[in-house]
Amino acid sequence: MLSVGTPAEIRADVVIAADGTEAQFARRAGLDTTVPLREMMSCAQYLITDIDIDAGSTDFYLGNEVAPEGYLWVFPKGERTANVGIGISGRKSRDGTRAKDYLDRFVAKNFPDGKTIECIAGGVPVCRPLPCTVGDGLMVVGDAARVVDPLTGGGIGNAMFTGRLAARVASECISAGNCSKEALMPYDAGWRASRMGKFLERNYKVKEYFVTLDDRKLNTLADSIANISLKEFSVSALIKELIKRNPKMLFELKSLKDALS
Ligand SMILES: Cc1cc2nc3c(=O)[nH]c(=O)nc-3n(C[C@H](O)[C@H](O)[C@H](O)COP(=O)(O)OP(=O)(O)OC[C@H]3O[C@@H](n4cnc5c(N)ncnc54)[C@H](O)[C@@H]3O)c2cc1C
Residue 204 lies in a domain: no
Residue 1 lies in a domain: no
Distance from C-alpha of 162 to C-alpha of 196, rounded to nearest angstrom: 9
Residues 41 and 21 in one domain: no
Residues 76 and 117 in one domain: yes
Residue 207 lies in a domain: no
Question: Does 45 contact ligand 1 (Cβ within 6 A)?
Answer: yes
Distance from C-alpha of 195 to C-alpha of 148, rounded to nearest angstrom: 14
The single-letter code of the amino acid at 227 is N
Question: Does 120 contact ligand 1 (Cβ within 6 A)?
Answer: yes
Distance from C-alpha of 55 to C-alpha of 26, rounded to nearest angstrom: 40
10 Å Cβ neighbour count for 117?
11
Residues 93 and 164 in one domain: no
Distance from C-alpha of 142 to C-alpha of 147, rounded to nearest angstrom: 6
Residues 110 and 51 in one domain: yes
CA of 122 to the centre of ligand 1 (A): 8
Residues 21 and 60 in one domain: no
Q: Domain limits at 178?
A: 15-33+135-192
Residues 76 and 116 in one domain: yes
Residues 174 and 230 in one domain: no
Q: Is 190 exposed, middle or buried (0-12, 13-18, 19+ CB in 10 A)?
A: middle
Pick from 6, 19, 93, 116 the residue to mutate for probing ligand 1's pocket: most ligand atoms within 8 Å of its CB. 19
Residue 182 lies in a domain: yes
Question: Does 142 contact ligand 1 (Cβ within 6 A)?
Answer: yes
CATH number where 117 lies: 3.30.9.10
* pLDDT tens digits for range 211-228: 888 888 888 887 877 777
- Write the CA distances from 41 to 82, 122, 124, integer angstroms: 21, 8, 5
The single-letter code of the amino acid at 51 is I
Q: Is 139 exposed, middle or buried (0-12, 13-18, 19+ CB in 10 A)?
A: buried
Mean pLDDT by 10 residues, the chain (261 residues): 87 97 96 96 98 92 91 96 97 95 97 97 97 98 97 95 98 98 98 96 89 84 75 74 77 62 47
Question: Does 76 contact ligand 1 (Cβ within 6 A)?
Answer: no
Residues 120 and 43 in one domain: yes
The single-letter code of the amino acid at 1 is M
Query: Where is the domain boundary, 125, 143, 175?
Result: 125
Residues 142 and 29 in one domain: yes
Question: Does 74 contact ligand 1 (Cβ within 6 A)?
Answer: no
DSSP letter for each residue of 88-120 = EEGGG--TT-SHHHHHHHHHHHH-TT-EEEEEE
The phi and psi torsions of 233 (rounded to 5 degrees) equal -80, 130
Residue 236 lies in a domain: yes
CA of 259 to the centre of ligand 1 (A): 32
pLDDT of residue 231: 66
Distance from C-alpha of 178 to C-alpha of 8, rounded to nearest angstrom: 25
The phi and psi torsions of 50 (rounded to 5 degrees) equal 65, 40
Closest C-alpha to 21, from 153, 152, 113, 110: 153
Residue 83 lies in a domain: yes
* Total number of domains in the chain: 3
Residues 110 and 225 in one domain: no
Residues 41 and 59 in one domain: yes
Which residue owns the Cα nearest ligand 1 atom 43? 19
Question: Does 19 contact ligand 1 (Cβ within 6 A)?
Answer: yes
10 Å Cβ neighbour count for 169?
24
Residues 140 and 182 in one domain: yes
Q: Are 30 and 135 in contact (CB under 8 A)?
A: yes
CA of 144 to the centre of ligand 1 (A): 9
pLDDT of residue 258: 57
Q: What is the 3-state secondary structure (H, E, C) of 136-195?
A: CCEEECHHHHCCCCCCCCCCHHHHHHHHHHHHHHHHHHHHHCCCCHHHHHHHHHHHHHCH
pLDDT of residue 257: 58
CA of 143 to the centre of ligand 1 (A): 7
Distance from C-alpha of 1 to C-alpha of 85, rounded to nearest angstrom: 39
Distance from C-alpha of 239 to C-alpha of 179, rounded to nearest angstrom: 40
